[in-house]
Amino acid sequence: MLVPGNDSLHFFTEGDVLYEAMLGSIANAKNTILLESYIFGDDEVGWKFAEALADKVRKGLEVLLHLDAAGTLLRTGNKLEKYLSSHGVRVQWFNRWTWRDPFRYNRRQHRKLLVIDKSDAYIGGFNIHRQSSHSIVGRERWRDAHVRFGNDLAMQAAEMFYAFWDGRVYWSIPENGGVTSVLVPNNSSECRYLLNCFITTLLACAKHFIYLTTPYFVPDTRTMKALINATGRGVDVRILVPGKSNVPLAHWAGHYIYSTLLQEGVRIYEYQPRLMHAKTIVVDGSWGTVGSSNFDYRSFFLNYELNLITRDSILCRKLRDQFLEDLSQADEVNAGRWSARGWSSRLYESVGWTLRSWL
């Protein structure tokens, strides 16, 4: 178990294990519970969390729940919302639809963050919903990734939660020399696209390998060049994406650039068993990132995201080992066969690529 004051990073890839740990942390909370989620389902998992949060309010704790209006659309029912509000959970909805400013709905709060008492925190790609639970949906559960941490990093997570809750979206990254891990949003007072800059820099520094896992692979020109330049330096660049996607347009948009990347030596794999929803990168075994950001236009330039970037050797090794294990259940895309695909596939891909900044 992670205890307050422990800097260890605990890695999760199974929803049931993660949810049990999160609910345990909530049960042990003494002062505050801060939770952000893109999806908070009106289902078995969502109700477990709702009841746990309500119980802590009854015991006098501050409980704040920040949800995205688009992500929870049709997923968080009126009954669940009324239950949370009536039991004292302070629920805030990010960018609910309004006729006065309809386009703000396109910018989403995509972060997944839980902070307990400013000393125990979780971040990653898991939403609060049944799709990630093996005990509920079985083998078809989503494959995802999350990390738990404590100490100063958890305090930073709490500060970032309160800032975003109050509408301060441009966070200033503290200058702490020598730290092993840092939480990075995609907006800061110094750089509007900070997370994109961080990731591009990591790719540019790679000497041996880049192992990238993402459910939605629609890179911008800058990050695509960083991947291609890495192969030119002799770096082993491998990308793992879902074989089947829950967002077909994004899937087709990613397919549009397969040929270019394959010709440049990038190796692409499609994960077969179930939906791959993890967002991780490990570079040379010495740098890694886990968080909410996909490798696409929306995450880099539209959504509000939050990632952990780390030099922790243990977590980087786990990210590498998990990536290689996932490859054993993936099919590699063959350049020759890919170039022979039909015109209908190419048409879908062109449509997806044209709409890439809106997916």
Are residues 142 and 103 part of one domain? yes
The edge-to-edge listing of strands for the beta sheet with 62-68 is: 10-12, 146-150, 120-124, 113-116, 32-37, 62-68, 90-94
For residue 121, is it within any domain? yes
User: Do residues 160 and 208 both lie within one domain?
Assistant: no
Buried b (16+ CB within 10 A) or exposed e, 4-28: eebeebbbbbbbeebbebbbebbee
pLDDT for 359: 63
DSSP state at residue 132? G
Q: Among 165, 198, 221, where does a domain finish? A: 165
The pLDDT value recorded for residue 1 is 35
Structure tokens at 137: 């949906």
The pLDDT value given to residue 253: 81
- Name the residue among 43, 97, 36 with its Cα closest to residue 67: 36
Judgement on whether residues 191 and 321 belong to the same structural domain of the protein: yes
How far is it, in rounded angstroms, from Cα 275 to Cα 32?
34
Does the residue 318 lie in any domain? yes
Task: Judge if 105 and 25 occupy the same domain.
Answer: yes
Residues 110-128: pLDDT tens digits? 999 999 999 999 999 999 9
Domain that holds residue 188: 181-358
Same structural domain, 37 and 159: yes
What CATH number is attached to the domain comprising 338?
A: 3.30.870.10
pLDDT means over runs of 10, the chain (359 residues)? 55 98 98 97 96 98 94 76 94 78 75 97 97 96 97 94 90 68 81 86 96 95 95 98 85 85 96 96 96 93 94 96 97 83 72 70
Using a CB cutoff of 8 Å and minimum separation of 24, what contacts does 188-195 make? Answer: 193/300, 193/301, 195/293, 195/299, 195/300, 195/305, 195/307
Give the per-residue pLDDT at 4.
38
The per-residue pLDDT for 170 is 77
The DSSP result for 29-69, as a single string, is -SSEEEEEES-B-SSHHHHHHHHHHHHHHHTT-EEEEEEET
* Residue 308 tokens, joined: 């952990």
CA 356 to the chain's CA centroid: 18
Terminal C-alpha separation, the chain? 39
User: Which tokens in the block code for residue 179?
Assistant: 């730290």
Is the domain of 142 the same as that of 216?
Answer: no
Are residues 227 and 135 both part of a single domain?
Answer: no
**pLDDT, position 305:** 95
What pLDDT does residue 68 have?
A: 92
Given this model, what pLDDT does residue 111 score?
96
* 256 neighbors 352 (Cβ within 8 angstroms): yes
